[in-house]
Every structure is written in structure tokens, then in C-alpha cells.
Amino acid sequence: MSTIGSTETIEALAAEIGEVVYLDVAKWHLYLNDAKLHIPVAQRLYPLLAEGNLTEDAVQAILADIPITLGAGRRQVPLRDLIPTSCMGDLMRALEDFCDRY
């Protein structure tokens, strides 16, 4: 994966995962791009892709380290806990496909 133009690459990654990954809260699906989380998540995941260290465990660890504030700051929940298992599979496929293209 090229590190040249990494800002554009991160933006492309953000756009892709923002349309695939969603938070499931009380059966409501809030996509990462709508929640304005797609860019920070892409920035955190990009080093895995650039270094060729893409594993589900590594992705899960990063998502577990991203706190999502609920209730105007009354509670924080790890992003990983808000993404359904089926959506994690979609995320991994999107990341693998992205690696193949870049």
C-alpha cells in the first residue's frame, strides 16, 4: 500500500467504511459517516493496512479503544460494543478489498 497521498487514501478509506459500518442502538442503524466517526476510525485503522498487519483481532482492539459518548457524556461505550457481529464481517471484507485496490 502506498504511503504517498496518505491523506487522500485515508479519506477514501473513511468514505468506504462510513457507508458499510454502522452502530446498532436499540435496533437503529447509525452509519459511521452519519455519526461523523468514519474519519477518526479510518485514521486509526490506516496504519494496520499500511503496515500489512490487518487481522480481525487488531481491528477489534482498535475499535475497543475508541470511546463513544452517550447521554451527553453520562456514559462511554467502546465502539466495538456498538457494531453488530455481521457488520464486523462487512468491515473486514471492506478493509481487505481496500488493501487489494491500494
pLDDT band with cut points at 50, 70 and 90 for residue 102:
confident
Per-residue pLDDT of 39-77, as tens digits, reads 999 999 999 999 999 999 999 999 999 999 999 999 999
In a domain, 48, yes or no: yes
Global pTM?
Answer: 0.89
Domain with 82, as residue range(s), is 6-101
Residue 4 has a pLDDT of 43
In a domain, 1, yes or no: no
Residue 39 has a pLDDT of 96
Count up the domains in the chain and report the number.
1
Exposure letters 43-69 (e unless 16+ CB within 10 A, then b): eebbebbbeeebeeeebeebbeebebe
